[in-house]
Amino acid sequence: MPYLPLGRLFWKFLIFFFLAQMTAVLGIGLAIWAIRAEQGAEPPPPRFAAEPAESAHHFDPPPFPLPLAGPNGRKPPPPPIHGPKLPILHLLAGAIVSLIFAALLAAYVSRPIRRLRMALQAGASGRLVPELAAAMGARRDELADLGRDFDRMARHLAQLMEGQRRLLYDVSHELRSPLARLNAIIGLARQQPENLDVCLSRLEHESMRMDGLLSELLTLSRLESGMDERAHEIVDISELLGDVVADAAPEAEQAACCIELSAPDSVLVQGDPEMLHRAFDNLLRNALTHARSGGWVGVELSSTAEEVRVSVDDRGPGVLSADIDRLFLPFHRGTTSADRSGHGLGLAIAKQIVDRHHGRIAVVNRPEGGLRLCIVLARVLA
């Protein structure tokens, strides 16, 4: 079928709507014409009615007038009975009006579908611009809802594509530094064979660093793609936070930092204990990294009838307002961070874990100084 400017769907709708309306117009018109034809074929009523007799010698007139004889003495034929004619003009007018309304209705239905097709073609070319809902105008129907859903999908896909490009750039940048250090250590070992033990120690340290980076990248990728299925277990957050604080005790002692845990006896949530342990551990180690020497880190657990809130506070320098929204992006360390040894993936992984548990994670600067990271999860009553 050749391409038409209005689209093939428009002509299909036009034909179907026009045939449907013409069938109704013809059916109703012919039915009215048939009824009028039957009424016109009935014999006319008598022209004279019988009158009451005035006397005994009075004769009633005949019920119909006597026919008059013609010039040749013959009776004239009765006048022909004419029924209603077929309403050709009315049916033609109905067809024209039906065609106009069918064309308007077909255009009203097919136009947003054509715009959706053009938007899909643009998306296939890599131009994910959420503008379909604006092109729908003031429509308030399912097609307008489809346009808004498409724009929402386009924005999400654009964010994912931008995130993938940014992640690829950050990964290549992060891997370039340890690879350059490895090459430098190898060159140093060749130039100074007597320092081979020192060079091997540095090589081991850099290889472990790269292994940790790749492990975190793999975890983040699996979380973003949804490959890791969340376990549905009842987890005691109080006990879990105790384990997290105990695991971070050597690092806190090395940083001369005190960790203060405030938690009730038993608060239950549903989820994956290993993933939740990793999320809280990332928050605590982030606080220890940014806390000043001899400082303090507070871990507080509070709960209501529906929610569980875990806050991790520190007395570090905090973050700039411009960095708060970017703090959960991969490889973002913040402009005020003094320690650049991390990879910038801990908070991004924590956010993915919390999202998979249908929770919320937020970050604010404390009025007393420092940063507060807060995780909110749904509570399970015992």
Q: Look at residue 43 in the predicted model and tell me its pLDDT.
A: 56
CA 131/CA 149 separation, integer angstroms: 11
All structural domains of the chain: 146-225 (1.10.287.130), 233-380 (3.30.565.10)
CB 364 within 8 A of CB 350: no
CA 89/CA 97 separation, integer angstroms: 12
Does 147 score more than 50 pLDDT?
Answer: yes
CA 248/CA 250 separation, integer angstroms: 6
Q: Look at residue 144 in the predicted model and tell me its pLDDT.
A: 79
CB 287 within 8 A of CB 373: yes
DSSP 3-state of 60: coil
pLDDT digit string (tens) for 230-282? Answer: 667 899 999 999 999 999 888 888 878 889 999 888 889 999 888 899 999 99
Helices (H), the chain: 8-40, 88-124, 132-135, 142-191, 196-225, 237-247, 249-254, 273-290, 321-324, 346-356
Region 288-307 average pLDDT? 84
DSSP code at position 73: S
Residue 156 designated active-site = no
Q: Report pTM.
A: 0.57
Cross-strand pairs, 269: 235, 379
| Backbone angle region of 130, left / alpha / beta, with phi > 0 → left and psi within -120 to 50 → alpha | beta
Choice among 58, 90, 173, 205 that is catalytic: 173
Query: Please, how many CA atoms are within 13 Å of residue 377, restricted to the half-sphere of its CB?
Result: 27
Torsion of the alpha carbons at 117, 122, 125 and 130, rounded to the nearest 10: -120
E strand or H helix that includes residue 264: none
CB 378 within 8 A of CB 270: yes
Helix axes 196-225, 142-191, angle to 10 degrees: 170
